[in-house]
Amino acid sequence: MFLAVFGSLLPFEHWTFVYEDALGVTPFSPGHILGTDNNGYDLLTSVIAGTRMSIFIAITAVGLGGLLGSALGITAAFIRGKVDLVLSTAFNVGLAIPNLVLALALVSVLATNVDMTEVVPIWRRVTVLVISLTIVLIPILGRIARGATLTWSGREFVTAARSMGMRDMQIIRKHIVPNVLPALIAVAFLAVGVVIIAEASLSLLGVGIPDGGSWGGMIARGRNDLEYSPHVLYIPVIFLAITVISTNQIGEVLRGRLDGRESKV
Amino acid sequence: MSVNFDTPRGSLEAVRGVDIEIPAGMSVGVVGESGSGKTVMCRAAMGLLQGSTVNRTGTVIFDGHELTAMSKEQVRELFGSGMAMIFQDPLTALNPVRRIGAQVSEGLRIRLGMSKSDAMARSKELLELVRIPNAAAVLKSFPYQLSGGMRQRVMIAIAIACNPKLLFADEPTTALDVTVQAQILQLLRELREDLKMSMVLVTHDLGVVAGNTDYVAVMYAGEVVEYAPTKKLFADMRMPYTEALLDSIPRVDHKSGTRLSVIAGRLPDPTNRPAGCGFAPRCKYAQDKCTTDHPELKTDPDGHIYRCWFPIGEAL
């Protein structure tokens, strides 16, 4: 997280700077704490850049997916009837398609140029990646929001609020959202981990961020030189693993807190 | 008014042709066993039953307004300041994640358009009105920090916040123990007199009704089976069901060791009603006619209403 926020302020050369005198240097060498890869890219700066990219993509996708997913899920559960039927079916269809395949399809359709010779700009790749991952996340978080809303909207205090003359929107805002939010936040942290892995997988498959701009990209680049300089592969993998484990852990702790609180009320 | 629910087993007639009048400033008790339609009737009257499976027919007239003909929006205008409801279980009727102050002041802000600080100040007064000690601290508490009795007082404060003309109290004391029950009922009685409210007091406890209401409606299987001024009902009941209900209450003047009489059997299946009187299979006075013909409401010259072919006190 620290690296993600302050990475660009650290006094390093840009991650694409090539150290031609130090190709494939092992970690802990002078000047290159994590070593360089066979093309002379410094791995520390690459990892920092990768962290920024991966976490930016993950948080944006989870944020957007969470916002849209929970809005749809809460609406479905609150209105019930036909709206619920349509949205739930859509969620289930979305869940039935394997995440990676869906994202892969979306990315490859949206982020390719008709003219093969023209390079797809990186911002477009990132945007498309975020959009695809968001689309993948909407049904996951939407269903959780729907489920949580269902358990709360049937409660007496919703009827009580109605008997006080509250409008549906006010009831959703003041009575449903505060109750549903903790569950969503806990799941959102788990989703961040899932998205980081999904993004890495896509990059590894060559449709994500190209040329080592993210962890997945670094892994993709490093796997070719596994025999000669394995650290090029290991370093982004370690960072990725640590981050995913941390987000999962945070998610678990939040969920534990939540369950404890829920048993109290 | 009637209420039907569509269920997989067919149409469930939860409330069937209930026709009662709640005189202004009076308190009407609604008694009946669990599942007799008391709660559904109150909620239907306020229009709080929602969903595609609910069919409400008939009319609800409140203060000259025909509620069933009004839009949801118009009815909502009456909530709080016109009608309000106290719910059965104060634990589930309060939102667990919001502070008491926010929940009490909500109605004030929505209905009366008070500012946040005014509404909070008024909320504190309301909590004091329902005799909550240390009201300022309670405003900042969450529901789980309060006892059942306190929570029910909070519910009452919420319900009376906008000075409703008609208060539905749906088993306000069921979830509470006996000593707290008495306090809450006392409180409701005083508030009703001070604020000149009409009240519908729903309960399954005839004892509660006896001391707190002016009129009583006895409900059985979704129908009103007896309706009379409270004193008259207890002095001269006509409906065998009411008698059976009263007999099932333990009495001090019974010899100790007397077996408590129970009403054998259960309510009729509301999706498949019997042709005759719903109470006939459980009634000790039942005759052949009771199982074949559904009794209509009869009215005594003094206004006492009942639904029975062979009412108590009439020569058989």
**For A211-248, how does the pLDDT look when each residue is reduced to its tens digit (9 = 90+)?**
657 787 777 777 777 777 777 778 888 888 888 888 88
State residue A67's pLDDT score: 92
User: What single letter denotes the amino acid at residue B13?
Assistant: E
The pLDDT of residue A190 is above 70: yes
Q: What is the mean pLDDT of residues B95-103?
A: 88
Q: Which residues contact B314 (CB under 8 A, 6 or more apart)?
A: B238
Considering only residues 239 to 268 of chain B, which have any Cβ-Cβ distance to chain A shorter than 8 Å?
Answer: none
State residue A4's pLDDT score: 52
Host H or E run for residue A210: none
Report yes or no: B113 at the A interface, CB cutoff 8 Å: no
pLDDT band at A14 (very low <50, low <70, confident <90, very high): low
Whether the CB-CB separation of B218 and B29 falls below 8 Å is answered with no
Better-scored residue on pLDDT, B12 or A39: B12
CB contact under 8 A, A264 and B144: yes
CA distance B263 to B249: 11
Task: Mutation target for A interface from B72, B97, B170, B200: give the one with most A CBs within 10 A.
Answer: B97
Contacts of A157 in chain B (CB under 8 A): 92-95
Residue A168 to chain B, least CA–CA distance (Å): 11
Give the pairing of strands B305-306 and B223-229.
Answer: antiparallel
Contacts of B114 in chain A (CB under 8 A): none
Contacts of A263 in chain B (CB under 8 A): none
CB contact under 8 A, A162 and B79: yes
Whether the CB-CB separation of B231 and B314 falls below 8 Å is answered with no
Contacts of B158 in chain A (CB under 8 A): 160, 164
CB contact under 8 A, A160 and B88: no
The pLDDT of residue A10 is above 60: no
Number of A to B CB contacts under 8 A, please give it: 73
Report yes or no: A80 at the B interface, CB cutoff 8 Å: yes
Q: What is the architecture of the domain spanning B2-97+142-306?
A: 3-Layer(aba) Sandwich (3.40)
Query: Percentage of residues in chain B with pLDDT exceeding 90?
Result: 6
| Inter-CA distances, B274 with A42, B15, B97, B162, Å | 86, 15, 46, 44
CB contact under 8 A, A178 and B98: yes
Q: Which residues contact A44 (CB under 8 A, 6 or more apart)?
A: A12, A32, A33, A34
CB contact under 8 A, A156 and B92: yes
Report yes or no: B186 at the A interface, CB cutoff 8 Å: no
State residue A189's pLDDT score: 85
Contacts of B78 in chain A (CB under 8 A): 165
CA distance A133 to A214: 15
State residue A68's pLDDT score: 93
The pLDDT of residue A88 is above 70: yes
The pLDDT of residue B124 is above 80: yes
Mean per-residue pLDDT of chain A: 77
pLDDT band at B316 (very low <50, low <70, confident <90, very high): very low
State both tokens at A15.
């991650």
| Alpha-carbon B87 to chain mean position | 9
User: What single letter denotes the amino acid at residue B65?
Assistant: H
Whether the CB-CB separation of B45 and B61 falls below 8 Å is answered with no
| Inter-CA distances, A39 with A11, A15, A16, A211, B218, Å | 21, 12, 10, 11, 89
Contacts of A156 in chain B (CB under 8 A): 87-89, 92-93
State residue B139's pLDDT score: 92
pLDDT band at A64 (very low <50, low <70, confident <90, very high): very high
Report yes or no: B22 at the A interface, CB cutoff 8 Å: no
Q: Where are the alpha helices (DSSP H) in chain A?
A: 2-6, 43-79, 81-96, 99-110, 122-153, 156-163, 168-171, 177-204, 215-222, 231-264
Considering only residues 157 to 176 of chain B, which have any Cβ-Cβ distance to chain A shorter than 8 Å?
Answer: 158
pLDDT in tens, B193-231: 888 889 999 988 888 888 888 999 998 888 888 899 998
Q: What is the ipTM of this complex?
A: 0.73
Mean per-residue pLDDT of chain B: 84
CA distance B45 to B42: 5
**Which listed CATH number (2.60.120.10, 3.80.30.20, 3.40.50.1000, 1.10.3720.10) goes with A34-264?**
1.10.3720.10
The pLDDT of residue A185 is above 90: no
Residue B46 to chain A, least CA–CA distance (Å): 8
Q: Which of B88, B92, B110 sits opposite A166 (nearest CB)?
A: B110
Q: Which residues contact A185 (CB under 8 A, 6 or more apart)?
A: A254
Nearest CA in chain A to B83: A163
CB contact under 8 A, B111 and A164: yes
Q: What is the mean pLDDT of residues B99-122?
A: 88
Better-scored residue on pLDDT, A28 or A100: A100
Whether the CB-CB separation of B254 and B235 falls below 8 Å is answered with no
pLDDT band at B48 (very low <50, low <70, confident <90, very high): confident
pLDDT band at A33 (very low <50, low <70, confident <90, very high): low
pLDDT in tens, B10-41: 777 788 878 888 888 888 999 988 888 888 88
Q: What is the mean pLDDT of residues B129-143?
A: 89
Residue A16 CB neighbours (<10 A): 14
Residue linked to tokens 């009105």: B129
Q: Which residues contact A40 (CB under 8 A, 6 or more apart)?
A: A18, A19, A20, A21, A22, A23
State both tokens at B249.
């209450």
User: What single letter denotes the amino acid at residue B42?
Assistant: C
Residue linked to tokens 């909500």: B106
Q: Considering Cα of B20, then B24, then B26, then B27, what sign does the dihedral take?
A: positive
State residue A27's pLDDT score: 59
Q: Which residues contact B52 (CB under 8 A, 6 or more apart)?
A: A80, A81, B6
User: What single letter denotes the amino acid at residue A184?
Assistant: L
Better-scored residue on pLDDT, B244 or A3: B244
pLDDT in tens, A108-158: 777 666 555 666 677 777 888 888 889 888 998 999 999 889 888 878 888
Name which of A41-45, A66-70, A88-92 the model is least confident about.
Answer: A41-45
